């Protein structure tokens, strides 16, 4: 059986964003621990059981189990790499300049909305958590209370005013 080879594209070798909160770091540590100590041994046992059934080339269950084991191993490596390169976001007491980790209250058209600026691993725009790489997040970094910013989206420009930094 021939395995297809995919060509590299612009998203193939993207580096992960190293900025994460302590809570996310702890969550990932628990996840990798569970993968190593629970999921991987269970899947390895399944591979061993299916290997006893004979011919590997026609043993679909074995091939699928082996693929799942490879997937678990790859996830473990990816998470361990992220944890090794992680930069923990510390909430600084400086409420004068917008930084990663701050809560920022913005005003637009008379309405106020609060956003938290975190790393790309933890974004949730519907909950008000944005990345420092997003158009709004990158426009906010380094700004002060009272500053007005413009965010360029596809076909329009949106103006915000910084009301409060926590």
pLDDT at 46: 95
pLDDT (0 to 100) of residue 94: 74
- At residue 155, does pLDDT exceed 90? no
**pTM, rounded to two decimals:** 0.82
Reported as a pLDDT band with limits 50, 70 and 90, residue 13 is low
Confidence class for position 53, pLDDT limits 50, 70, 90: confident
Catalogue the long-range contacts made by 137-145 (C-beta closer than 8 Å, 24 or more residues apart). 140/98, 140/104, 140/115, 141/98, 141/99, 141/100, 141/117, 142/97, 142/98, 143/97, 143/98, 144/96, 144/97, 144/98, 145/96
Q: Would the pLDDT of 37 be above 70?
A: yes
Question: Residues of the chain with pLDDT > 90: what percent?
Answer: 77
What's the confidence (pLDDT) of residue 12?
A: 64
Complete domains list, the chain, with CATH: 19-88 (1.10.287.180), 103-165 (3.10.50.30)
């Amino acid at each position: 059986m021939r395995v297809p080879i995919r060509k590299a594209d612009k998203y193939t070798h993207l580096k992960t964003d190293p900025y994460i909160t302590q809570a996310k770091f702890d969550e990932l540590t628990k996840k990798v621990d569970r993968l190593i100590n629970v999921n991987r041994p269970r899947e390895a046992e399944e591979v061993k059981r299916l290997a006893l059934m004979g011919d590997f080339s026609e043993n679909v269950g074995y091939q699928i189990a082996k693929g799942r084991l490879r997937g678990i191993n790859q996830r473990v490596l990816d998470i361990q790499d992220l944890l090794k390169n992680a930069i923990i976001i510390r909430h600084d007491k400086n409420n004068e300049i917008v930084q990663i980790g701050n809560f920022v209250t913005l005003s637009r058209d008379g309405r106020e909305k609060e956003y938290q600026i975190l790393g790309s691993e933890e974004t949730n725009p519907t909950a008000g958590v944005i990345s420092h790489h997003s158009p709004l997040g990158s426009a906010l970094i380094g700004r002060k209370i009272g500053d007005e910013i413009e965010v360029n989206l596809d076909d329009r420009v949106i103006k915000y005013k910084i009301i409060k930094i926590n």
